[in-house]
Structure 1
Amino acid sequence: MTRKLRSNFPRGSYLWAVRNAQWQALGIPEADCEKPKIAIVNSSSGLAACFAHLDGIVPVLKEAIRAAGAIAFEVRTAAPSDFVIGAGGRGGYILSTRDLVTNDVEVAVEGAQLDGMVCLTSCDKTVPGQLMAAGRLNIPTLMVACGYQPSGEYQGEHVDIEDVFVGAMHAQVGHLAMDKLIGMSRNAIRGPGVCSGMGTANSMHIVCEALGMALPGSTPVAANSEAMFETVRRAGQRIVEMVWEDLKPRDILQTAAFGNAVKTILSVGGSVNTVKHLQAVATESGCGADVYGMFERFADEVPVLAGVRPVGEHFIEAFESAGGARAVMKQLGDLLDTEVVTCTGRTLAQNLHGVEVADEEVIRPRSRPVANKPAIMMLRGNLAPEYGIVKTGVIERKVRRFSGPAICFSTSDAAIAALKNGEIRPGHVVVMRGAGVCGGPGMGGGSSRMVFAIDGAGLGEQVAMLTDGHLSGLVCKGLVVAEVSPEGAVCGPLALVEDGDTISIDLDTRRCDLEVSPEEVARRRAAWKPSPKQFDSGWLQIYRRNVGPLTEGAVLVTPR
């Protein structure tokens, strides 16, 4: 099978000659320079366990690509880990680096006019960043999930990174001994890979398979396992076939594929961050899918079929053993559009043919779900004219409607200090604003810390919270409406709330409202002045000035 490759130039031309010289110096024979050229997108970093093993995967993948009749070029991108790079810029580097990854990929792969790419997906922002690049560049692409980390044990109890995150905030409010927190932190992670719960990373790995951009049966997977390396070898073979077939991301990333991904995430109670990430991928792919609307529309159609920590009681290892994403999609059956094309060149129906679920207690049939009520809800109202998102979990909530006086904060530090001082009391609705994509900028992790601090203070069922910031995919506590949009920094309604205003949240009607007269709101809007802009130099000011709205995925847009 042959076709003209975009990476090849006429022999003796300027581009042929200078590339041949460069590649000869790398030990690549001239004959190989005519073969398909595949990028291995490697978001490796020595800063975090999430990425520590990726360099060891590259040689295996290179050999598989070589055996399939192509040559591989490793390219690097930024590698954001929430728990490490969240220390600077008020957490602004976390989400913003997703778009930096996209542009890193474009520079290397589009600049070199390579023919295809395999993306080694790891921590949660690299996955959508790489998918966004695939949609933008539209060259044959495969996503390879590089696996979750092994968790540990401390004082005879299971401990993972979620426990450490929660424990750190409990310790701040005096509800966990510091010695225990230190012990937990030293034992929570026993090897490389992403967070071991159904947080954003594992949720996005599952998204890759549900979209049809990862090989069937490849997610989730334990890092450095034989199952992971078998997928790596299969991917090396398949990407070369995809180049010759000219099977491109935009052939796969159609509206129906996004619908399948949304339904799959709803069925596993996945991370709320998949909403904006999927929307960003749809935006970059140019398919016009309204992912926010899909989450709103499908919430009541799709039961929760699997409860993996932190949503349910099962560990990710059990979910993988039960069949993972492929088994969930098999159980969803006719709720999915199974005629969509996938990276195999076959339809989803063909990929699922003959699949059996190994454990129907872990991944249940639709006739016996974990929960019938959605684990992710989209709220609207005069405080969230576009959307606010609630992670409801799978346990029936005691509190489905909450109404109380607002207490407002512009930073998580101020909110946590007020909590420690007893200023936040039962009945309050905590409002945290200025944490959105523009205001943060980049939606830092302060909102998540506040949720866990409230939980640690024993107020999880007695206090509600609204924020235009985002939540870690590991957050599933309390009544929290996150990513309220439009955000406060652009004079969204959250910016106009004052201490003592009554706010009502109703999960049954999916409403979030400020009980203040329209005339008073109009007066406040006329008097509103924006807060001083954060970060007027460097990457964060570039991001702040160019990021688009959440409903479009918060992707970088043409300067306004």
Structure 2
Amino acid sequence: MRSDKMKLGSKRAPHRSLMKALGLTDREIAGPIIGIASSASELIPGHMHLAQVEDAVKAGVRMAGATPLRFSTIGVCDGIAMDHKGMYYSLPSRELIADSIEIVAEGHPFDGMVFISNCDKITPGMLMAMGRLNIPSVLISGGPMLAGNYHGKSLDLISVFEAVGRHAQGNIDDDELAAIESYACPGAGSCSGLFTANSMNSLAEVLGLALPGNGTIPAVDSGRIRLAKEAGMAVVRLVKEDICPRNIATEDSFMNAVAADLALGGSSNTALHLPAIAKAFDVDFSIDNFDLLGRRIPHLCNLSPVGKHHIQDLEAAGGIGAILSRLNELGELKRDARSVTGKTIGEIADASRVWDDEVVRPVGRPYHSEGGLAVLHGSLAPDGAVVKLAGVPEALRVHEGPAVVYEDGEVATEAILAGKVKSGDVVVIRNEGPKGGPGMREMLSPTSAIVGLGLIEKVVLITDGRFSGGSTGAVIGHVSPEAANGGPIGLVQEGDRIRVDFNKRSLDLLVEEDEKKRRAGALAEASAEKPVAAKHNPDGYLARYSIFVGSAAEGAIYRKDFVEAASESVKRLQSGETS
């Protein structure tokens, strides 16, 4: 057993003595030791109940004859971090989560691990750690929040953001805004639409790294507790069979995840997280996979923020198994991909059924003929940009308009709410990428303002930042290279014509090449004469993050060449070299 490194033999008597200080018996020490990484927190609605999930996981581990030991990691609630300095830290927290789990698990060699997660960056961070460590593991999420209800209408967090725009326009009064605020989020769980958290928790199932039901069983359903017990038992079986995450999540698994994401119409953030997770699993992956499959796989679910259904409706319709079943019908499922259940993904699909043909449409009657996400390329995004295609109004499938340029998401939101953005405009928000932000903030407030002001079918928004899984409309994010890395988005000037063709997957700045070269030269000259300070003068962790982070097109992970260069610099300093 891996844990023998810290407990076996006479030389490990001091180690065992410290374990006994924890209250462990000789029998508990002798058995398999399962590390439980938990992000339980009183700060995040999706995590407020995870102590109960922890107890259930530990019960499952003990029922299977092993010893559970829990430790904690951090988490940021994107909704609470929105529109202030906190949002700069959301995406960077993903790397810290992965790093912190790696540190604990290497410092205490567990035989297996259970990862208890739920929200936006926490689930991807935990999956990245799982791939790095590659010891028998299972992920269990805390489950989705139920939808709220106000006067018979279903609500979720995005309803509140959009209500802010309606309130600014005078369409609702203070009392109605307060009522929507109070009823939209009724309790524990990850926000109830197909936003980033629920997208990633669902894709964890498809990757084979979580049990069926992980993405859709509601947080308040006792089925979630039973699933947590099953996860505890499953990891002990994986330990006994020595089945590790990289034995399960292969290239086929990631292609299945993309296929399921397209059918679901998941968050555009999946195009940021799947490449990062694939890298941790040593799997080659390109965001162009979304486009490769997106033209073949139809959009079958119309969940919030695009449609009227919520995650609880998908659970009632058959859950992620229903999606796998539809993909199997299409012949687009890699059936031999494995899962932590011991069954193949094909076997899980065969055992699944669709119980509601409106929530999970038949393949011959999709909501859209193409998948929910697309990748655009062109002179404005040479390395790609990502759009939630399912949310793009038909009226904007092909659009050309004048650029309205902002250097900051909050400034853009204020301008939109003040009526400074007009029908036909292309709003450009730049210097919000992984490096330039730093931290690649979500642009939920400007997109919600556009919806709230009734401009959703009249305005396109483009950014080198990213969008909340709750964003909808003709909103294009992850524009790469970002402005801070010399991308063409940094050359756009007020009034420039921008053309987007979602059908052809193109995004172009309609400015002559000579003029773009002139602008680039002028920017370089200005920077040489007076170096521009980082946008928000980051210090501490953000300063380090902005130096090492790579392109959004590659998952916004730390650049290997920068890390290696830093290591070499340290070695030179240690050897007495000064240059």
TM-score (norm 1): 0.95
| Matches for 1:47-196 after TM superposition, within 5 Å | 47-86=43-82, 88-89=84-85, 91-196=87-192
One-letter identity of the residue aligned with 1:37: I
Q: Is 1:400 the equivalent of 2:397?
A: yes
- Mean Cα displacement is larger for which, 306-315 or 168-177? 168-177
Question: What are the ranges of 5 or more consecutive residues in structure 1 without an aligned counterpart?
Answer: none
| Matches for 1:91-490 after TM superposition, within 5 Å | 91-290=87-286, 292-333=287-328, 334-393=331-390, 397-445=394-442, 447-477=443-473, 479-490=474-485
Aligned residues of 1:199 and 1:270 also touching (Cα < 8 A): yes
The percent of aligned pairs where both chains have the same amino acid is 34
Cα-to-partner distance string for 1:253-276 (whole Å, 9 max, x where unaligned) = 211110000000100111111111
Deviation at 1:363, TM superposition (A): 1.5
- Mean Cα displacement is larger for which, 521-530 or 424-433? 521-530
CA distance in 1, matches of 2:4, 2:306: 46
Aligned residues of 1:388 and 1:483 also touching (Cα < 8 A): yes
Aligned residues of 2:2 and 2:109 also touching (Cα < 8 A): no
| Matches for 1:535-546 after TM superposition, within 5 Å | 535-546=537-548
Aligned residues of 1:86 and 1:93 also touching (Cα < 8 A): no
Deviation at 1:395, TM superposition (A): 7.5
Aligned residues of 2:3 and 2:109 also touching (Cα < 8 A): no
Deviation at 1:87, TM superposition (A): 5.4
Distance 1:430 1:236, change over 3 A: same
CA distance in 1, matches of 2:219, 2:86: 30
Aligned residues of 1:136 and 1:285 also touching (Cα < 8 A): yes
Deviation at 1:140, TM superposition (A): 0.9
Deviation at 1:330, TM superposition (A): 1.0
Aligned residues of 2:83 and 2:445 also touching (Cα < 8 A): no
One-letter identity of the residue aligned with 1:65: V
CA distance in 1, matches of 2:212, 2:5: 29
Aligned residues of 2:143 and 2:214 also touching (Cα < 8 A): no
Aligned residues of 1:146 and 1:224 also touching (Cα < 8 A): no
One-letter identity of the residue aligned with 1:62: K
Secondary structure, in 3 states, of the residue corresponding to 2:189?
coil
Aligned residues of 2:7 and 2:29 also touching (Cα < 8 A): no
CA distance in 2, matches of 1:459, 1:279: 33
Deviation at 1:396, TM superposition (A): 6.0
Aligned residues of 1:209 and 1:218 also touching (Cα < 8 A): yes
Deviation at 1:399, TM superposition (A): 2.3
Aligned residues of 1:86 and 1:92 also touching (Cα < 8 A): no
Q: How many residues align?
A: 553
Deviation at 1:520, TM superposition (A): 0.9
Distance 1:204 1:420, change over 3 A: closer
- 1:505 corresponds to: 500
Q: Is 1:12 the equivalent of 2:10?
A: yes
CA distance in 1, matches of 2:213, 2:410: 43
Distance 1:45 1:4, change over 3 A: closer
Deviation at 1:373, TM superposition (A): 2.7
Q: Is 1:556 the equivalent of 2:558?
A: yes
- Mean Cα displacement is larger for which, 528-537 or 58-67? 528-537
One-letter identity of the residue aligned with 1:276: L
Aligned residues of 1:90 and 1:444 also touching (Cα < 8 A): no
Deviation at 1:357, TM superposition (A): 1.9
Secondary structure, in 3 states, of the residue corresponding to 2:334?
coil
Question: What are the ranges of 5 or more consecutive residues in structure 2 without an aligned counterpart?
Answer: 566-579
RMSD: 1.8
One-letter identity of the residue aligned with 1:105: I
One-letter identity of the residue aligned with 1:540: L
Aligned residues of 1:6 and 1:114 also touching (Cα < 8 A): no
Distance 1:225 1:554, change over 3 A: same
Distance 1:522 1:4, change over 3 A: closer
Deviation at 1:6, TM superposition (A): 5.1
One-letter identity of the residue aligned with 2:385: G
Aligned residues of 1:8 and 1:34 also touching (Cα < 8 A): no
- 1:520 corresponds to: 515
One-letter identity of the residue aligned with 2:321: R
TM-score (norm 2): 0.92
